[in-house]
């Protein structure tokens, strides 16, 4: 059987995709020929313009659908409104850092809802569509923190470990079908949000850009280099390919060696 990475005729829904990793993954899926549905909790003209730009650049169908990933009904409604879901990328996420005794309860609840529970709801809604189509890919964007831990990130680490577990269960429940479920575990990825943090870190530590990146921000990433959103997208495209048809229920680390330590 010929190995292909063409995703023409497939519809991909990417949660949390109006910037950063989500948008990078959407671009690479569109480049491979998939129709894409972008998503976030806002409903701005620029959100819809992102979809229009992808459609024009890659000659695919692209839409933006607002849905709040902290709301179970919105999560399931996103899939229903899209009307089709061959590829589900659960990417939406937030972060908060604090010691456990003073970790705000509302932050814990929000992180668990957006980073973990949303993936349960979207997957539950998407699997019947994938089964009806006879093909599907569930790709959860976890984290190096889905495999290891850091202090002061209790909710994030718990949610990302949970995403890895949910991925395994999804894979087992679909193991005899042409549907796979896997988790991508990034380390530090150079997104606009991360880029915006660099000047403040330079001031705080009195270092130039290269030094603060290597010695502070990437201290736990042995490659001392950021992963890119294009690499996240390329990994997702691979997991959608025929070559990855027997890869299911596992994690793929894109972390510069972080979890090898």
Residue 2 has pLDDT above 60, yes or no: no
pLDDT category at 5 given cuts 50, 70, 90 is confident
> In Å, how far from its chain's centre is CA 198?
22
What residues are labeled active site? Answer: 156
pLDDT at 3 > cutoff 80: no
The tens digit of pLDDT for each residue in 12-29 reads 999 999 999 999 999 999
CATH architecture of 11-188+227-260: 3-Layer(aba) Sandwich (3.40)
Residue 228 is predicted with a pLDDT of 97
Give the single-character DSSP code of 116: I
Are 110 and 94 spatial neighbours (Cβ–Cβ below 8 Å)?
yes
Query: What does each C-alpha distance from 37 to 4, 115, 218, 230 come to in angstroms?
Result: 22, 19, 32, 18
pLDDT digits (tens, 9 = 90+) for 177-225: 999 999 999 999 999 989 999 999 999 999 999 999 999 999 999 999 9
Cα separation of 218 and 70, whole Å?
30
Show me where the domains of the chain are located: 11-188+227-260, 190-226
């Amino acid at each position: 059987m010929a190995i292909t990475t063409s995703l023409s005729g497939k519809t991909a829904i990417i949660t949390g995709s109006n910037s950063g990793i989500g948008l990078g993954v959407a671009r690479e899926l569109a480049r491979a020929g998939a129709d894409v549905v972008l998503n976030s909790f806002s409903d701005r003209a620029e959100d819809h313009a992102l979809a229009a730009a992808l459609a024009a650049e890659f000659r695919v169908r692209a839409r933006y659908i607002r849905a709040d990933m902290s709301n179970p009904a919105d999560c399931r409604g996103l899939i229903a409104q899209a009307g089709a879901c061959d590829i589900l990328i659960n990417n939406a996420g937030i972060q908060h850092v604090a010691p456990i005794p003073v970790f705000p309860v509302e932050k814990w609840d929000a992180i668990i809802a957006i980073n973990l529970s949303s993936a349960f709801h979207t997957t539950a809604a998407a699997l019947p569509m994938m089964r009806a189509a006879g093909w599907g890919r569930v790709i959860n964007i976890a984290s190096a923190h889905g495999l290891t831990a850091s202090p002061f990130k209790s909710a994030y680490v718990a949610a990302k470990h949970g995403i890895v577990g949910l991925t395994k269960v999804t894979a087992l429940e679909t193991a005899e079908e042409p549907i796979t479920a896997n988790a991508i575990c990034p380390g530090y990825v150079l997104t606009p949000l991360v880029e915006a943090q660099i000047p403040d870190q330079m001031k705080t530590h009195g270092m130039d850009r290269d030094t603060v990146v290597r010695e502070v921000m990437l201290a736990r990433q042995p490659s001392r280099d950021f992963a890119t959103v294009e690499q996240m997208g390329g990994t997702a495209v691979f997991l959608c390919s025929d070559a990855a048809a027997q890869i299911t229920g596992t994690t793929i680390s894109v972390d510069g060696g972080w979890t090898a330590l």
